[in-house]
Amino acid sequence: MSSHSNHEACLRPNRRQLMAGIGAGGLMLATQGRAFAAGADNIIKVGFVSPRTGALSGFGQTDGYVLDLARKSLAKGLAIGGKTYEVQIIDVDTQSDPSRASQLAKSLINSDQVDLILAISTPETINPVADAAEAAGVPCLSTVMPWEAWYFGRGAKPGAPSPFKWTYHFGFGVGEFYKMYVSQFGLIETNKKVGVLYPNDADGNAIRANLVPLLEKSGFTIIDPGAYEDGTTDYSSQISLFKKEKVEIFNSFPIPPDFAAFWRQAAQQGLRKQLKIAQLAKTGLFPDGVEALGSLGYNLGNNAYWHKTFPYTSSLTGIGGEALANGYEESSGKQWTQQLGATLSLLDAGFTALKASTDPKSKADIAKAISTLNTVTISGKVDFTSGPVPNVSPGPIVGTQWVKAAPGSKFKLDFVVTDNATDSKVPIAAKLLPLNG
Amino acid sequence: MSQDPTVRVERWTLQSRISILAAAIILAILATGPFFFGNNAIDKLTTLFIYVILAVTWNALAGYGGLVSVGQQAFFGLGAYAAVRLADAGLNVYVSLVLAAVIIAAVSLPISSFMLRLRGGEFAIGMWVVAELCHLLVNLDSLVQGETGTSLIALNAYDADTRHALNYWVALGSMTAILVILFVLLRSRIGSAIQAIRDNEEAAASLGVRVMGTKRIIYVFAAFGAALAGALWLSTAITFQPKTYFGVQWTAYMIFMVLVGGLGTFEGAILGALIFFLIETWFGGSGVWYLIGLGATALVFSLFVPRGIWGWLERRFGLGLLPLGYRILGVPSATRMQTPDDGGIGAAPSVGTP
């Protein structure tokens, strides 16, 4: 210090001021963001939050295509109550990170000043977004996660009035899974012994607590080797228990890498030969994950919250299931996935609510329109007037199976509907094939 | 030295008086923020204050105490969890936030008695194990429902504008309190003692420094800061999903902020938090590349600028904004004390800077 001259000492505050100036300038830029984009009253802004990259990217990979369709349909604006509004859909990627989802939601609310938020796929995406929307008083509609984890997982108490005024969710819950499993497991003659492999995570624990008692009541014997941690690599003990108990049905809610490890070991250790039905959830929803298993992926049972054979039409774009799936396959070169219809159904429901609102620039009016929404989207009925709890409209989940595609097909696997217990309008395409048949 | 009439020990310099005054003015201006800023700026500044708390308390532990922890997310998560529990029990939400941090500081006391027996890498990994353990224990609570989590919906009792302003003031107040506590701690005997322990534990003990007690104070302080940050983060995010709060990324952020800003310098941690906040705002959208960039930057800094930006500025320009060290005036240059310059965690930036 003392080696510096007084001359330099005089300059020092200037350097500091410079630094402080740079810092303050940066802070201004960082905090103001897109504030200038704040809305005019003939523009409706809709935020769309989904995981496009990261661990959950399988859910978001088709969103770009579906959003393009929606934007094309909305290009001429949206007529509501004799007035035509310009519509902007602002889509953001959570990178599969709940903290980022929360920050994105706040930024949509505060800087973009959106009129409505649509959020899709998994509790990691939807719950933080819904919480931010509820707190800020912005209407939010979501789908694709069990509604119980959305409602009770955000602090609502069973039997108490709904604490939510601004957030609404539609889609499957444990009840739909139960109906579908009982129906699907009855399609093939078995000893009704179900080996379950449920991890120690949100889905695993919820399913163990809520689904297992229902299945036992319906006459199934549940063989549960206990919760395992996500990331387990050795499943010998579970496999030997399933073999000893001679289970013929297998059910699991694993993360994809865990299932791949388990399923290879099950094949090597002779469990796969003994099983008649292997019913997965959460893993194997999309074709690329199942293809990665090679021949071990054939005849795996699964579920679908949408299938291209759903007999409904998109209220927003006017296209049906087959057209949606084929359009995606043509434009991307990849096989269609059940997420296509789910994303479009969310847009369908969101824009139907906007049209039903008396004033789409009033957040309270939009929320009121959602709370009384009773419409049909490309994935079926969305009805908030008769749900099990307010703010929730349960939706179908149908039983499906991955089968080897017919010769000449562009893709290796075909995804066929085998059960329609939760929506009888969905046509059953094939009889469930035994796993080892 | 004090017997020598030509030698004076100076703590407050003109520069430091000016900077303390400037800091007080800045804080006073920030306190009026909710009257001028929009919700977006308020939200972002609240995030920045939380980052400052995280950086400053991790720096206290690692930079001043030499205790490198990669498990501070244990306290971050526990702070949020305790706030959820207290609010669920019917306590006012904002009281819950602060009380949660106090409770977790108390919880960290028994943890410290066995963790502080570990040294270096063992301590770092041990803390990570503690964090994982806390995560699993919190998952067992039926209120949290495993990874499903729950939400602090009690906050919805406040309307959006009030909540923004309250979050902001509580975060600003907490940050100020943390900075003041650390400032006072570092200027006290504890400040000299903890840095002596960091530089050489045996030597410090032989000089009569209470090693365990001093380490414990800094450990509990860091736990308090992380828990407070966790509770405040919960008040801005509302959603409590255990995996998010007990994730190791929180410690990675703390390490980044402190390494880039300046390990073991009071001002550096604050600068690091500001830099991290700006980087996140500008590049956070670029996904994987953003994370790779963060990691690479931290790596470059630890290899080539081990004292961080502030450490470099301090040395280059003789800056010393805060009166934390001692300046010895009037000593002939040949006998002047030298700062040990071994870089990295062992570097002693403030005390004894000639």
For the cut 70, the answer to whether the pLDDT of residue B92 exceeds it is yes
B167 CB within 8 Å of a chain A CB? no
Asked if A154 and B153 come within 8 Å (Cβ–Cβ), the reply is yes
User: CB burial class (10 A; 0-12, 13-18, 19+) of residue A277?
Assistant: buried
Mark whether B49 and B195 lie in a shared domain: yes
Domain with B169 in it: 33-247
pLDDT in tens, A412-434: 999 999 999 999 999 999 999 99
CB A134 within 8 A of CB B156: yes
Q: Chain-wide mean pLDDT for chain A?
A: 89
A32 CB within 8 Å of a chain B CB? yes
User: Which residues make Cβ contacts (< 8 Å) with residue A238, sequence separation at least 6?
Assistant: A195, A197, A225, A228, A262
CA distance B55 to B44: 16
Full 3-state SS string of B12-51: CCHHHHHHHHHHHHHHHHHHCHHHHCCHHHHHHHHHHHHH
Q: Which pTM value belongs to this model?
A: 0.86
| Residue B336: closest C-alpha in chain A | A2
A17 CB within 8 Å of a chain B CB? no
Lowest mean pLDDT among A85-89, A299-303, B225-229, B299-303: B299-303
Q: Dihedral angle at the C-alpha atoms of A15, A20, A22, A23, nearest 10 degrees? A: 140
Q: How confident is the model at residue A13 (pLDDT cuts 50, 70, 90)?
A: very low
Q: How confident is the model at residue B330 (pLDDT cuts 50, 70, 90)?
A: low
Whole-angstrom CA distances from B258 to B42, B69, B348 are: 24, 13, 15
In this structure, is residue B92 part of a structural domain?
A: yes
Best B19, B26, B148, B333 member to test A by mutation, with max A CBs in 10 Å, is: B148
DSSP SS3 for A137: coil
Extents of the domains making up chain A: 3-165+309-393, 174-308+397-419
User: How confident is the model at residue B40, as a pLDDT?
Assistant: 87
A369-384 mean pLDDT: 96
Mark whether B223 and B336 lie in a shared domain: no
For the cut 50, the answer to whether the pLDDT of residue B317 exceeds it is yes
pLDDT in tens, B35-49: 989 888 999 999 999
pLDDT in tens, A134-179: 999 999 999 999 998 899 889 898 889 999 999 999 999 999 999 9
- Count of domains observed in chain B: 2
Considering only CB atoms, B156 lies closest to which of A127, A163, A204, namely: A163
Mark whether B7 and B101 lie in a shared domain: no
| Residue B288: closest C-alpha in chain A | A54
A380-396 mean pLDDT: 94
B302 CB within 8 Å of a chain A CB? no
Mark whether B23 and B100 lie in a shared domain: no
Mark whether B20 and B65 lie in a shared domain: no
pLDDT in tens, B171-183: 999 999 999 999 9
For the cut 90, the answer to whether the pLDDT of residue B12 exceeds it is no
Residues on chain A touching B159 (C-beta within 8 angstroms): 137
Q: How confident is the model at residue A437 (pLDDT cuts 50, 70, 90)?
A: low
Mark whether B70 and B121 lie in a shared domain: yes
In this structure, is residue B302 part of a structural domain?
A: no
User: How confident is the model at residue B352, as a pLDDT?
Assistant: 36
The ipTM value here is 0.82
Strand partners, A400: A302, A417
Mark whether B49 and B156 lie in a shared domain: yes
In this structure, is residue B255 part of a structural domain?
A: no
Buried b (16+ CB within 10 A) or exposed e, A115-125: bbbbbbbbbbb
Mark whether B24 and B87 lie in a shared domain: no
Q: Do the bridges between strand A380-383 and strand A374-377 make them parallel or antiparallel, or are there none, so unpaired?
A: antiparallel
Q: Chain-wide mean pLDDT for chain B?
A: 87
CA distance A375 to A359: 19
Cβ under 8 Å to A: B residues 303-332: 317-321, 327, 329
Mark whether B25 and B57 lie in a shared domain: no
CB A160 within 8 A of CB A186: no
How close A36 comes to chain B (CA, Å)?
A: 12
For domain A3-165+309-393, which CATH number applies: 3.40.630.30, 1.20.1560.10, 3.40.50.2300, 3.40.1380.20? 3.40.50.2300
pLDDT in tens, A284-314: 999 999 999 999 999 999 999 999 999 999 9
Mark whether B184 and B214 lie in a shared domain: yes
Buried b (16+ CB within 10 A) or exposed e, B222-242: bbbbbbbbbbbbbbbbbbbbb
Mark whether B154 and B108 lie in a shared domain: yes
In this structure, is residue B315 part of a structural domain?
A: no
B250-268 mean pLDDT: 93
In chain A, % of residues over pLDDT 70: 91
Residue carrying the six token digits 């396959």: A329
pLDDT in tens, B138-156: 988 888 877 788 999 888 8
Q: Do the bridges between strand A140-143 and strand A380-383 make them parallel or antiparallel, or are there none, so unpaired?
A: unpaired
User: Which residues make Cβ contacts (< 8 Å) with residue A79, sequence separation at least 6?
Assistant: A85
CB B115 within 8 A of CB B127: yes
In this structure, is residue B27 part of a structural domain?
A: yes
DSSP SS3 for B3: coil
Last residue of a domain, one of B247, B271, B295: B247
Residues on chain A touching B273 (C-beta within 8 angstroms): none
User: How confident is the model at residue A20, as a pLDDT?
Assistant: 52
In this structure, is residue B274 part of a structural domain?
A: no
A160 CB within 8 Å of a chain B CB? no
Last residue of a domain, one of B247, B278, B306: B247
In this structure, is residue B252 part of a structural domain?
A: no
Q: Could you name the CATH architecture of A174-308+397-419?
A: 3-Layer(aba) Sandwich (3.40)
In this structure, is residue B318 part of a structural domain?
A: no
H-helix or E-strand containing A344? helix A339-356
Mark whether B63 and B201 lie in a shared domain: yes
User: How confident is the model at residue B4, as a pLDDT?
Assistant: 57
CA distance B31 to B46: 11
User: How confident is the model at residue B336, as a pLDDT?
Assistant: 43
